[in-house]
Chain A
């Protein structure tokens, strides 16, 4: 079986690939695996009926997902149907389609894959595997129904079929999960015989019923099937008559031993089945499109099958199975016939067809055979099945089962309708109708007619050879306990209620057919305003509306709103935990040193002032004040390194802000209403207060010794440095620092990205460098009439307007610059044992560059730092990562440092720790960052301003801000 499945898989890939070459002949190739399935079933028959054949390959053992297949008599019957009808339909497709059909390859591939999925569905012996194939049939039916994708109705129907059957399938999956969890097995053959009892069993059964209803088009989930008639006719014949819609019936039969006694199972299947039978039959009498007549007929028949198989007695099951086989044969025949009619005459409207019986006699004979079987006339298979079902219902009724009588009444009425629409189909397609012109001459093609003819003859054979059918189906039905004498499938049961009822149904049916016109008038009057299909559409647009509203409410596009939501969640979560904790506020020492409250007050005041500042620059400076306050705290705690670094960072940040702010409006955005401000203030205060309380509580709860206590000892012993902060940064936690370096690099790259837009513009420094250097050397390319060598020391003379210059500043900066660089190098190298370090050193060097730029502009900057920022950043990162990688090659952990004592003769000895190399990386990256900020926010913005270039970053930021405020104001209104 797995081999057959594999063959289907391979064929469905090959078929689309070969379609361009083979055209419609590709369908013959596609039929090969279907034939193989039939042959395999035939060969396996003895073993199947003796004990069943199984194959098993694990797939996801952890979830109980197994490729577990099994042919028992029930699967065998269905496999034969699926394979046989599938092969015939594929052969039929060869004549139905033309080579120039759009998307033919995809269609053929999907149909093959569908056949394979259907085969897998009936042989699967694992509920999850069954679900896999169940959903695959859904997906392929979606693709097949939507084949005529340029037709809107096709697309809509495909979506409808997909959603409805997936809804049912997923519901069923939930049932499977509950049942397998309770039963401890996912094997279908085990679950189907001993399903869990109690609430789980009932809920599971109900969920599976939903799956059955959706797949087999039973009321109230039946409406997708008539819609699915938008598919090409072979698809309707196969999917919607013989195969897919039988999946639900199959499942009902499969689970009937387990659930026959479960409350709800039998009642729901029988009653809904009967309603479906009546609704479908009634609608079938109204339709004028032959395909829709058949479609509603199928709905009706599926209802009958559901009722029969769900009835839960052995005899009803036997009859139901016979009916299932009969229905597969006659309904696919009729669909295929309608396909030929449509193909040959160009219409399926029974009001327009006339005289076709005479024009295509062979077709008419085939159709007559199938219609007779559908109507339940002897000696066809349809008759045999119906008789047995009715007999079983009578039997049940006689033994005191009320449902038996109800079912009998419903089935009889339904069968009468069936006979009526069977007559209507035949009459509609083939009869001569007064006032309608006859169809023209039709050349009947034997190849085209082959598939329906074979199927129709099989339907006749099944009736005549009823005992043979019985021999096959009785073992299937025997899974249910027999009560008293068992029924057998036979043409002649003797005269009894069933035969009488059969006669009545046929008589009533013919009567209804003859009275079709008055009935049509009644139907027109009774036509329902709303159908189940409307309910589907209503549900869908309801979901759409709910989705749209919900999304509009939560997804406002307003950043302040998003932040507020996050903070409110924070407040609620933490406060609810705090309330439960109800901590006694610990005895807190307010401060250790007098400097601390001073810094705290300064920082708090600055922070609050920053939130209400009206001007950008004001806000930036105030934020800077909090940073300097932090530096004060660091210094007070005995961390001069950190204090130094923090102060330098604040300076650089201030410069960066100023560079940006010169292109932004001075004032911050428009004012908000006071309630808005109050709300925000309340939230902010709440967050801050909570943070303080939580900090107190958390610190007071500490019992263990913090690891930091060990750091000073570790720094000296392991890191060979007395500057604990520096050793921590470059050694103990050097990995963090390396990470932060990459953060700096990314940030620098990001700034450049925003300003230079499309390239990192290493052209810019190159240009600047060339002109800068040439200016420096007094060898400008330009004629140098006004050129004097003395002026070349100060570049700004050529590049800045005189009013922007300050010669004094330029000179001072020029003089101080080398000293600053030396200082930065000193900080870098001394850092291991004294305050300093790569970060502080890099910042000092960076500030030196800032000074050069501020004093004399962008050309001066280029001359001061004749390298690209990218190169600095890259090589800095290389130093740092190199310090991490090299030790790996020496067989120790990454970033492990080594201590070297170099004896330099007269110069004395130098102790060198390899982590200094890492610090050099830090140093370079920091300079690179500052340079990048100056180049992009400074020099490039200058250039854009001078040259009136494209809208700059600042311009875009401004536009964005403007938009944001107006949007915000709009949202509030």
Chain B
């Protein structure tokens, strides 16, 4: 079965090659891309089932035994991330195809989009399956470089500007990551994650803390935790809707994934847990304040994205199996719901011609369907039960109460407060964009909108009022997926819990990578 492990990376790469070679035949190219990602999704689901039943799958690439060669590892956490990501990538691709068809390729040049998108997918998948710290870096590089391309699609001034911020900050984070790898190699003489985990325990504890903090800063930039998060709201919202959707859904979560690995395998000692909790607190609060101040839906969503990263960091920072399980479940939930909301925002932009609530109005009458497709994930993000956002938050709250330290209880309170403060801008959006009649928009003054800031870098688009079936279909698919996370929350959460307990103690991971195996 372990031949499936490299395939999650190889298939998108082969697909990218095929997409490059079929650049002149758009239909074929689209078919190749869709087929590739469907196959990855299928493999991801199989991996979840297999890994859950019979333990981690490990492949020594090139037959070189660990720790010398590169090793790919799929445990429950990785398998879950692979499947959820593949599902999201596929749905966003379908949406993008729909948007591309409707736009007559003016905004999303197909022949650029498909290969870059598949390379991005390969990078994301590689990051999830990497059992080697340097290979994790390579995974990050792949997805980052592909994301540079996707972010600047169309090359408008706003996108170039957003791209500059994004690229430079990402380069800095990669530089720090690379330096951290060099230092870790320097201190331990290895880049194999399992072996680092073994050897790091022999280092002086303060040096462990130092390397640990170093790595966390690098990942913290990618995951967008406060105060390393400022780049995100300035860069994501300017990209085309499907690109923003996939960035918001996946890329920061790869950072979170790396943080989970750091905290559970590389540096499982709890000395930075309190720091993480403080960071989680600041991320939650400052992020959501940013969201409240925004008039632009996409920018507002970008801030909620930052804020909710705090929830995941909270789960990790608690340092218990329950906390990690909640973080894992919340990550899955957030990948799905954040992507869905950005797709819905894409539909809003289609129908309303803008994503700024200071100019939107009457959307519910214009398209009740878009209303439903926005409302359901919005409530989900706002933590309204019975949706998965509530379930994830409940898991975090219970885990925090279980820990019971004053700091954990402060975070419990903050988590609850941020839930309300998330609901506020979302409900305000509903009030203004969906309920408020179009004719009221002109000369509308209200205390509710007095402090709102419009996106300083926003592009204006034209309302087409026509929705392509693929766009709507993909969004419906994502909304269905988000609801499925609620309905199937029982088995999924149990799986997340098993993933969380896998990560308690490093011995299981180490023995599956370095120990004897068939």
B62, A895: Cβ atoms closer than 8 Å: yes
Contacts of B189 in A (CB 8 A): 702, 704-708
A706, B185: Cβ atoms closer than 8 Å: yes
Contacts of B42 in A (CB 8 A): none
What 0/1 pattern do residues 729 to 749 of A give for CB contact below 8 A with B?
001111110111011011101
Stretch of A270-278, A358-366, A485-493, A575-583 on the interface side: A575-583
B447, A181: Cβ atoms closer than 8 Å: no
A875 CB within 8 Å of chain B: yes
B459 CB within 8 Å of chain A: no
B427, A753: Cβ atoms closer than 8 Å: no
Minimum CB–CB distance from A250 to chain B (whole Å) comes to 18
A757 CB within 8 Å of chain B: yes
A893, B494: Cβ atoms closer than 8 Å: no
Minimum CB–CB distance from A946 to chain B (whole Å) comes to 20
B145, A746: Cβ atoms closer than 8 Å: yes
B290, A555: Cβ atoms closer than 8 Å: yes
Residue in A170, A573, A759 whose beta carbon sits within 8 Å of that of B419 in the complex: A170
B482 CB within 8 Å of chain A: no
B155, A894: Cβ atoms closer than 8 Å: no
A888, B141: Cβ atoms closer than 8 Å: no
For A172, the closest partner residue in chain B by CB is B416
B20, A139: Cβ atoms closer than 8 Å: no
**Given A569-B228, A736-B135, A749-B112, also A892-B207 (CB < 8 A):** no
For A694, the closest partner residue in chain B by CB is B183
What 0/1 pattern do residues 697 to 721 of A give for CB contact below 8 A with B?
1110111111110110010001000
Residue in B290, B390, B456 whose beta carbon sits within 8 Å of that of A550 in the complex: B290
Contacts of A736 in B (CB 8 A): 70, 134-135, 138
B421 CB within 8 Å of chain A: yes
Contacts of A544 in B (CB 8 A): 292-293, 447-448, 450-452
Q: Which of B328-362 contact A (CB under 8 A)?
A: none
A754 CB within 8 Å of chain B: yes
**Given A178-B401, A570-B217, A894-B62, also A550-B384 (CB < 8 A):** no
A581, B63: Cβ atoms closer than 8 Å: no
A893, B490: Cβ atoms closer than 8 Å: no
A559, B149: Cβ atoms closer than 8 Å: no
A739, B447: Cβ atoms closer than 8 Å: no
How many Å lie between the Cα of A707 and that of B66 in the bound state?
10
Residue in B122, B233, B290, B401 whose beta carbon sits within 8 Å of that of A181 in the complex: B401
Residue in A131, A559, A580 whose beta carbon sits within 8 Å of that of B165 in the complex: A559
Minimum CB–CB distance from A503 to chain B (whole Å) comes to 47
Contacts of B209 in A (CB 8 A): 577, 580-581
A956, B293: Cβ atoms closer than 8 Å: no
How many Å lie between the Cα of A762 and that of B379 in the bound state?
46
**Given A559-B165, A697-B207, A750-B148, also A163-B420 (CB < 8 A):** yes
Stretch of A59-67, A292-300, A392-400, A428-436 on the interface side: A59-67
What 0/1 pattern do residues 198 to 229 of B give for CB contact below 8 A with A?
01001110110111011001000100000110
Contacts of B494 in A (CB 8 A): 61-62
B149, A753: Cβ atoms closer than 8 Å: yes
B467 CB within 8 Å of chain A: no
B386 CB within 8 Å of chain A: yes
Residue in A102, A559, A870 whose beta carbon sits within 8 Å of that of B111 in the complex: A870
B204, A753: Cβ atoms closer than 8 Å: no
Q: Which of B1-48 contact A (CB under 8 A)?
A: 3, 6-7, 9-10, 13-14, 16-21, 23-24
What 0/1 pattern do residues 880 to 913 of A give for CB contact below 8 A with B?
1100110010001111110000000000000000
Contacts of B21 in A (CB 8 A): 870-871, 874-875, 878
Q: Which of B464-509 contact A (CB under 8 A)?
A: 489-490, 493-494, 496-497
Contacts of B434 in A (CB 8 A): 149
How many Å lie between the Cα of A180 and that of B18 in the bound state?
55
A760 CB within 8 Å of chain B: yes
How many Å lie between the Cα of A746 and that of B167 in the bound state?
14
Q: Which of A509-542 contact B (CB under 8 A)?
A: 537, 540-541
The size class of the interface chain A forms with chain B is 35 or more
How many Å lie between the Cα of A733 and that of B185 in the bound state?
15
Q: Which of B358-375 contact A (CB under 8 A)?
A: 364-365, 368
How many Å lie between the Cα of A131 and that of B417 in the bound state?
16
Minimum CB–CB distance from A837 to chain B (whole Å) comes to 16
**Given A60-B490, A166-B423, A735-B61, also A65-B391 (CB < 8 A):** yes
Minimum CB–CB distance from B443 to chain A (whole Å) comes to 13
Stretch of A228-236, A494-502, A641-649, A958-966 on the interface side: A958-966
Contacts of B164 in A (CB 8 A): 559, 960, 964
Contacts of B55 in A (CB 8 A): none
For B409, the closest partner residue in chain A by CB is A178
B385, A562: Cβ atoms closer than 8 Å: no
Contacts of B233 in A (CB 8 A): 555
Residue in A563, A704, A710, A874 whose beta carbon sits within 8 Å of that of B68 in the complex: A710
A150 CB within 8 Å of chain B: yes
A106 CB within 8 Å of chain B: yes
B13, A758: Cβ atoms closer than 8 Å: no
A759, B160: Cβ atoms closer than 8 Å: no
Q: Which of B420-440 contact A (CB under 8 A)?
A: 420-421, 423-424, 427-428, 431, 434-437, 440
Residue in B165, B365, B390 whose beta carbon sits within 8 Å of that of A132 in the complex: B390
A177, B423: Cβ atoms closer than 8 Å: no
For A66, the closest partner residue in chain B by CB is B490
B416, A174: Cβ atoms closer than 8 Å: yes
A752, B112: Cβ atoms closer than 8 Å: yes
Interface centre among B14, B402, B428 (most CB of A within 10 A): B14
Q: Which of B258-311 contact A (CB under 8 A)?
A: 286, 289-294, 303
A960, B157: Cβ atoms closer than 8 Å: yes
Minimum CB–CB distance from A721 to chain B (whole Å) comes to 13
A125 CB within 8 Å of chain B: no
A58 CB within 8 Å of chain B: yes
A759, B105: Cβ atoms closer than 8 Å: yes
For B166, the closest partner residue in chain A by CB is A559
For B20, the closest partner residue in chain A by CB is A874
A135 CB within 8 Å of chain B: yes
B106 CB within 8 Å of chain A: yes
Minimum CB–CB distance from A931 to chain B (whole Å) comes to 13
B16, A753: Cβ atoms closer than 8 Å: no
How many Å lie between the Cα of A554 and that of B146 in the bound state?
28
How many Å lie between the Cα of A746 and that of B234 in the bound state?
23
**Given A135-B385, A577-B206, A750-B145, also A60-B391 (CB < 8 A):** yes
B169, A566: Cβ atoms closer than 8 Å: yes
For A559, the closest partner residue in chain B by CB is B165
How many Å lie between the Cα of A576 and that of B156 in the bound state?
43
A63, B70: Cβ atoms closer than 8 Å: no
What 0/1 pattern do residues 397 to 422 of B give for CB contact below 8 A with A?
11001101000000011001101110
A interface list, Cβ under 8 A from B: 58-65, 102-103, 106, 128, 131-132, 135-136, 139, 142, 146, 149-150, 152, 155-156, 158-159, 162-163, 166-167, 170-171, 173-174, 177-178, 180-181, 537, 540-541, 543-548, 550-552, 554-557, 559, 561-563, 565-567, 569-570, 573-574, 577-578, 580-583, 691, 694-695, 697-699, 701-708, 710-711, 714, 718, 731-736, 738-740, 742-743, 745-747, 749-750, 752-754, 757-760, 762, 868, 870-871, 873-878, 880-881, 884-885, 888, 892-897, 953, 956-957, 959-960, 963-964
26 A-B pairs (CB sep. < 8 Å):
A59-B489, A149-B364, A150-B437, A155-B435, A159-B428, A173-B394, A540-B448, A543-B421, A566-B221, A570-B176, A570-B217, A581-B209, A582-B206, A697-B210, A707-B68, A707-B192, A745-B20, A753-B153, A877-B17, A881-B14, A885-B7, A892-B63, A894-B10, A895-B6, A956-B155, A960-B157
Closest 8 pairs between A and B when the two form their complex, measured CB to CB: A874-B20, A706-B189, A581-B206, A750-B149, A149-B435, A547-B292, A877-B17, A577-B210
Question: Known contacts A156-B448, A731-B64, A754-B155; can you find 19 more A-B pairs with CB under 8 A?
Answer: A60-B490, A171-B416, A541-B450, A543-B421, A547-B291, A547-B293, A548-B452, A554-B290, A581-B204, A707-B191, A711-B68, A742-B13, A749-B116, A758-B106, A760-B23, A870-B115, A893-B61, A894-B61, A956-B160
